[in-house]
Structure 1
Amino acid sequence: MQHLLTEDVKTLIVSYSLRVIAALVILIVGLIIAKILQRVVNKLLTKARIEKTLVNFIGNIVHAFILIIIAIAILNKLGIQTGSLIAVLGAIGLAMSLAFKNSLSNLAAGVLIILHKPFKIEDFISVNGISGTVHDINIFMTKLITSANETIYVPNSKLTENFITNFSQQKNRRLEIIIGVGYEDDIQHVKNTLAKLIDNNTDILKTPAPNIAIKALSDSTVDFVIQVWTEKENFGKLNLSLYEQIKILFDQEKINIPYPQQDVHFICDSPININNQS
């Protein structure tokens, strides 16, 4: 009886030892395969000109996925039932996805931004009332630097949920200025004065041609619209300087920029004495 028991123990030890050796082989080979696949994926994505952040992220996901498969294979080889373990991992994954819903949303949005490239680093963008230069794009958020040198971190999901205006994708930008003059001023004289100002400004492009026209007849002014094109690098400077140049030139040409005013009419049966009385 004791002899049979000893034989059974030896058989069990040998069998389990073989399983452990097989599990170690699976582990070693699996780690090698995981590393090779990660490198292959990184190389393919890099050749496809995918952003480095996304390349590393996808490579790490592939590596982690293979490690999970290796772990399940090792447990099966050791005779451990993995069905319940997979169910538990699935439940944990579901709970984590609910707990980190916002983070996962930002993650998905970050992947979309990196893939579709609506903007890149150093682009000047505006989204949901926030404007700034893109300083960094990562998986969860985008870092903007405003013109006032303020740093704003915008969750990626906010970027994909709203309209994005990219001011840097095109080489040139159009600047539009509306200026009001008095009704007594000569229209052609105003146009000629503005045309002279535009011709003498080196930051304004000749093509596309500038446009000067009457936009509206307001209560107190005749509103002219000036539409000019400039290189995107000069847009901010031109936007600030053009108003000052217009005011100086209008003063020289005696063109009036009136204050808002109203005509008041009195209707009565007898004259009204408006003289000051002491």
Structure 2
Amino acid sequence: MEISKYADLAIMYISEYGLKIIVSIAIFIIGKIVARKATALLKTLMHKAKVDNTLVEFLSNVIYFVLLIVVVLASLNTLGINTTSFLAVFGAASLAVGLALKDSLSNIGAAVLIIIFRPFEVGDSIEAAGASGKVEEINLFSTVMVTPDNKTTTIPNSKIISSNITNYSSKPMRRIDLTFNINYNDDLKLAKEIMMQVLKEDGRILEEPAPMVAVGELKDSSINFVFRVWVKTEQYWDVHFDMLEKVKLAFDEKGISIPQQQMNIHISK
């Protein structure tokens, strides 16, 4: 009699919830497959649209996670479970996690802005957040740069996006600005001709925009020349150093002197 009672009870529960359980499992399995395929499709479309790979991976993970939550909620609803309280708990948990990880989330948000607006890319030489170097990696939390003396610098993305960013590689040409000083008793025209000759003999200096050599200042103890030439960005430092050396050697050869800073002290008796 007791066994029959439990059997009847089991049959009642199976008949009432069995179909719901089967439907719920089916919704979860099918929904998971659909979520995976939808994410893969969006990922393919983003790749075709030439969206940055880092952003593609990040958005794909977020989209799949959101779709999976929808599938789980739909599955629980089929079982007759009230998901309102679950959503409230999930919302509170999300808020707590968000507050705990606010710095990390701000770095992720900054990474998305960097990837979308592209103030710089991997391989560019930049200056940002008090550091300068060549960008080696942009991940979701930080930007990794290699300094000119081969040190690795890792900077949080939020600090980079909130600072001034100077990209030295974004343009194909850069201008070299130098200053050369000569004594007042030296031949001004000769000094200018020497500098013009030096830059004309260097094939790396571009003709357009035109180079310029001009008197910039008449100081107390020297005449200062402004020396400006345009070069390809990748040749900037090579030409910069070569011009300093070549002009100095040419000045020495022609007897043009570069004044040294000095202080005259007059002692009255």
TM-score range, shorter chain: over 0.9
2:228 corresponding residue in structure 1: 227
Bigger radius of gyration among the two: 1
Extract unaligned runs of 5+ from structure 1: 273-278
SS in 1 for 2:185: coil
Percent of counterpart pairs with the same letter? 37
Is the CA contact (8 Å cut-off) linking 1:141 and 1:156 kept in structure 2?
yes
Deviations 1:43-66 (A, max 9, x none): 111111101111111111111111
1:85 corresponding residue in structure 2: 86
The residue identity in structure 2 corresponding to 1:157 is S
Return the alpha-carbon distance in structure 1 between the equivalents of residues 129 and 176 of structure 2. 21
1:65 corresponding residue in structure 2: 66
Alignment: residue pair count: 268
Return the alpha-carbon distance in structure 2 between the equivalents of residues 134 and 6 of structure 1. 70
The residue identity in structure 1 corresponding to 2:258 is I
Residue 153 of structure 1, CA deviation:
1.1
1:173 corresponding residue in structure 2: 174
Return the alpha-carbon distance in structure 2 between the equivalents of residues 218 and 88 of structure 1. 74
SS in 2 for 1:191: helix
Deviations 1:97-153 (A, max 9, x none): 111111111100101111111111111111133211111111111111111111111
The residue identity in structure 2 corresponding to 1:21 is I
Return the alpha-carbon distance in structure 2 between the equivalents of residues 24 and 120 of structure 1. 45
Return the alpha-carbon distance in structure 1 between the equivalents of residues 158 and 205 of structure 2. 38
SS in 2 for 1:209: coil
SS in 1 for 2:51: coil
2:158 corresponding residue in structure 1: 157
Deviations 1:178-225 (A, max 9, x none): 121112222211111110111111221122110111222223221111
Return the alpha-carbon distance in structure 1 between the equivalents of residues 231 and 21 of structure 2. 72
Is the CA contact (8 Å cut-off) linking 1:219 and 1:260 kept in structure 2?
no
Moved more, 179-188 or 18-27: 179-188
Return the alpha-carbon distance in structure 2 between the equivalents of residues 208 and 264 of structure 1. 46
Is the CA contact (8 Å cut-off) linking 1:181 and 1:221 kept in structure 2?
yes
1:203 corresponding residue in structure 2: 204
1:275 corresponding residue in structure 2: none
SS in 1 for 2:155: strand
The residue identity in structure 2 corresponding to 1:168 is S
State the TM-score, normalizing by the size of structure 2.
0.93
SS in 1 for 2:93: helix
